């Protein structure tokens, strides 16, 4: 989610995929994938541990980094993913829409093959035997 405007009087509404309609809380639900998730759990009690992290489990949309301030525990590391993951991912795997589009293109290609074979006078069974249709 990209709603990390906790210190503003009025939170900004971001229009990236995966947002929660500008809300600071999503009623326990995740954003709409693909969504780079910036997770922060702040405890009210100083005796309890605060947690933070970046997750790409629901996809990737924007680079994110969390950097603790200098006066925080030395065990706290910079968390994030600043590399453009999309540039490393094959196009057909970047989103469910691209996978669906590729499947539709393959189905159309097979349909064209079948029409061409039928125009050549062969039956669908002959085509299947030759491996042209799956």
Q: How far apart are CA 116 and CA 96, in angstroms?
A: 30
Tens-of-pLDDT digits for all 134 residues of the chain?
A: 333 433 334 444 444 445 555 555 555 555 667 778 888 888 888 888 888 888 888 777 778 888 877 766 667 777 777 777 777 777 766 766 666 777 788 888 888 888 777 776 665 555 555 554 44
Q: How far apart are CA 103 and CA 77, in angstroms?
A: 42
| Distance, C-alpha 119 to centroid of its chain | 43
Q: Which residues contact 89 (CB under 8 A, 6 or more apart)?
A: 60
What are the structure tokens assigned to 68, written together? 């603790």
Predicted TM-score (pTM) of this structure:
0.43
Under 8 Å between Cβ of 134 and 110: yes
Closest CA to 1 of 49, 59, 50: 59
């Amino acid at each position: 989610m990209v709603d990390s405007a906790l210190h503003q009087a009025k939170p900004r509404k971001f229009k990236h995929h995966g947002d929660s309609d500008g809300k600071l809380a999503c009623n326990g639900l995740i954003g709409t994938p693909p969504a780079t998730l910036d997770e922060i759990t702040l405890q009210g009690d100083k005796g309890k541990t605060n947690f933070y992290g970046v997750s790409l489990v629901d996809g990737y949309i924007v680079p994110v980094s969390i950097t603790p301030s200098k006066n925080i525990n030395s065990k706290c590391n910079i968390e994030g993913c600043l590399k453009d993951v999309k540039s490393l991912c094959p196009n057909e795997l970047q989103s469910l829409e691209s996978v669906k589009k590729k499947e539709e293109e393959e189905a159309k290609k097979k349909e064209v093959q079948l029409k061409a074979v039928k125009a050549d006078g062969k039956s669908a069974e002959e085509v299947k035997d030759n491996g042209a249709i799956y």
